[in-house]
């Protein structure tokens, strides 16, 4: 970064239902595109906004972290108010603060938590249709949890990536926790790790749904993992149930 630029860290959340994911695209509305459009309107500067990790079309974020640089000084309170006045209501910036020149929202992230929400019943409540995935068949949460336990640890997750060959830094990730919990009709899959491959969480959820439905045994988790090969045994679950829940930073990389 050039010396005369000030770096800023922002915390934001969004409903991804009406966006074609995070990454800016010329012909589609995206989270990055909306943020950069508003930033230019507020400051007159054309700056790239980098996030902790891109989300796909239809995926939501409870807490996303991003950064950008500005050449001119700004009043943070006014900038925050301006963002939320000009953005549509499905994107909100929660905070903006100055960051170290070398801070990077993606490369300084120490870990992430995703949550995937399943509505397990015959009928989806209409107000949840953008935020839950409907599975009508009864799901065995105990079997799902047994399968999830077999996937925790540092492994090559190529079999759970939609395109492992695109990963520049390889397919090995440390999945620190993968849990499955039921509360009434709602089942929540929580994944925490140092990082995730392309569509990895949706692939984990798709596999666990198959286990819960009795289509695969829990023991298949290790067989599929060790194969390092993506097959039809691991479907990609729909996007609307997925939330980027939280991004963690070490004290050194926090800002």
Separation between Cα atoms, residue 155 and residue 140, nearest integer Å: 25
- 36 belongs to a structural domain: yes
Asked if 89 and 166 sit in the same domain, the reply is no
Cα-based torsion angle of the residue sequence 171, 174, 176, 178 in order, rounded to the nearest 10 degrees = 20
Asked if 136 and 244 sit in the same domain, the reply is yes
Could you give the residue numbers annotated as active site?
Answer: 56
- 254 belongs to a structural domain: no
Q: Are 21 and 31 in contact (CB under 8 A)?
A: yes
* Structural tokens at position 157: 């997750």
The confidence score (pLDDT) of residue 164 equals 58
What CATH number does residue 96 fall under? Answer: 3.30.70.580
Separation between Cα atoms, residue 17 and residue 60, nearest integer Å: 8
- Residue 109's SS3 state is strand
- 172 belongs to a structural domain: yes
> Residue 227 belongs to what domain range?
110-248
The confidence score (pLDDT) of residue 41 equals 97
- Number of C-alpha atoms within 13 angstroms, CB side, residue 235? 10
Asked if 57 and 73 sit in the same domain, the reply is yes
Asked if 94 and 45 sit in the same domain, the reply is yes
What CATH number does residue 169 fall under? Answer: 3.30.70.660
- 155 belongs to a structural domain: yes
The CA angle 195-196-197, to the nearest 5 degrees, is 135
- 1 belongs to a structural domain: no
Q: Please report, in tens digits, the pLDDT of each residue of the chain (255 residues total).
A: 455 899 999 999 999 999 999 999 999 999 999 999 999 999 999 999 999 999 999 999 999 999 999 999 999 999 999 999 999 999 999 999 999 999 999 999 999 999 999 999 999 999 999 999 999 999 999 999 999 999 999 999 999 998 755 666 789 999 999 999 999 999 999 999 999 999 999 999 999 999 999 999 999 999 999 999 988 889 999 999 999 999 999 876 566
- Number of C-alpha atoms within 13 angstroms, CB side, residue 253? 14
Separation between Cα atoms, residue 1 and residue 196, nearest integer Å: 27
The confidence score (pLDDT) of residue 1 equals 47
Q: How many domains does the chain have?
A: 2
Separation between Cα atoms, residue 91 and residue 82, nearest integer Å: 13
């Amino acid at each position: 970064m050039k010396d005369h630029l000030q770096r800023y860290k922002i915390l934001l959340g969004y409903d991804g239902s009406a966006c074609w994911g995070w990454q800016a695209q010329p012909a589609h509305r995206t989270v990055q595109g909306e943020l950069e459009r508003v930033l230019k309107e507020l400051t007159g500067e054309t700056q790239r906004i980098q996030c902790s990790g891109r989300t796909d079309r239809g995926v939501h974020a409870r807490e996303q972290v991003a950064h950008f640089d500005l050449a001119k000084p700004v009043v943070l309170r006014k900038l925050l108010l301006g963002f939320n006045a000009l953005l549509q209501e499905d994107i909100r910036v929660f905070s903006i603060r100055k960051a170290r020149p070398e801070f990077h929202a993606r490369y300084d992230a120490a870990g992430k938590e995703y949550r995937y929400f399943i509505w397990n019943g015959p009928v989806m409540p209409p107000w949840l249709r953008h935020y839950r995935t409907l599975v009508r068949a009864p799901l065995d949460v105990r079997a799902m949890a047994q399968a999830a336990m077999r996937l925790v640890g540092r492994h090559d997750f190529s079999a759970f990536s939609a395109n492992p060959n695109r990963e520049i830094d390889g397919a090995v990730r440390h999945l620190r926790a993968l849990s499955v919990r039921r509360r009434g009709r709602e089942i929540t899959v929580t994944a925490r790790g140092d990082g995730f491959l392309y569509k990895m969480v949706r692939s984990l959820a798709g596999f666990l749904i198959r286990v819960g439905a009795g289509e695969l045994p829990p023991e298949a988790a290790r067989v599929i993992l060790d194969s390092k090969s993506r097959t039809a045994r691991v479907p990609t679950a729909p996007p609307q149930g997925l939330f980027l829940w939280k991004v963690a930073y070490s004290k050194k990389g926090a800002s």
